[in-house]
Amino acid sequence: MKRSTLRSIVSFLFNRLTRLNVIGLEKVPLTGGALLAVNHFSRLDPPLVFALVQRDDLTALVADKYKHYPVISWVVRTVDGIWINREEADLHAMREARDYLRAGGLLGIAPEGTRSRAGGLIAAKTGVAYLADKAGVMVIPTAISGTELAVSRLLTLRKPPITIQFGDPVDLLPLARGNRDAILQRNTDEIMCRIAAMLPEKYRGVYADHPRLREILLQTN
């Protein structure tokens, strides 16, 4: 199946079965390397992004455990996804992702590294900030809410409300050798607080009381 056909099917299903609210899609660049940093509450999150972003070079980093799920594995192959071992520092996957971005591709990634089952954001890893620096690309924070309840609502024949918002590119500090780890953490917190600011309060999780989030909310209100 062609990528375009798969996108049409997934898009049709979301539009027909959910009450979808899309904000800021125009902020995703039409060309050039970029990272979509997306929070992750549900397995529906990646197909939702895929259905909305009309770029044929959009792909994602995907946990290699899904190689054993036939349908998911087939979809990942269809969109040329990059498998990553989440249990260790997978340098091969990170190099592949870096090269893909440098070549002008668009890559989706969950900074938290896994689905949150806590009902809100969990602490992110520094991989997205590291990858953005190595590839020299912008990071677009992307916030999704409502997908975590979508399947259960569909089973009761109700259309679940889902909101996805794309934010402005995040300003990240360049990594410096002397305080590299501190800057990586600062950049990671900046990405996550930008995502948190676009989410309803109940979803902000471990970033709810972050000082940077309070600054962002004051600037936007």
The pLDDT tens digits for 126-150 are 999 999 999 999 999 999 999 998 9
The whole-number average pLDDT for the span 68-89 is 85
Model confidence pLDDT, tens digit, residues 104-122 = 999 999 999 888 988 899 9
Q: At 37, is the secondary structure helix, strand, or coil?
A: strand
Q: What's the DSSP call for residue 160?
A: P
CATH code: domain 3-220 is: 3.40.1130.10
Residues in the chain: 221
Higher local confidence (pLDDT), 52 or 220: 52
Model confidence pLDDT, tens digit, residues 179-213 = 899 999 999 999 999 999 999 999 999 999 999 99
pLDDT number for residue 1: 66
Tokens of 139: 């990071």
pLDDT number for residue 62: 87
Q: What are the residue boundaries of the structural domains of the chain, listed by start? A: 3-220
pLDDT number for residue 90: 80
CB 26 within 8 A of CB 168: no
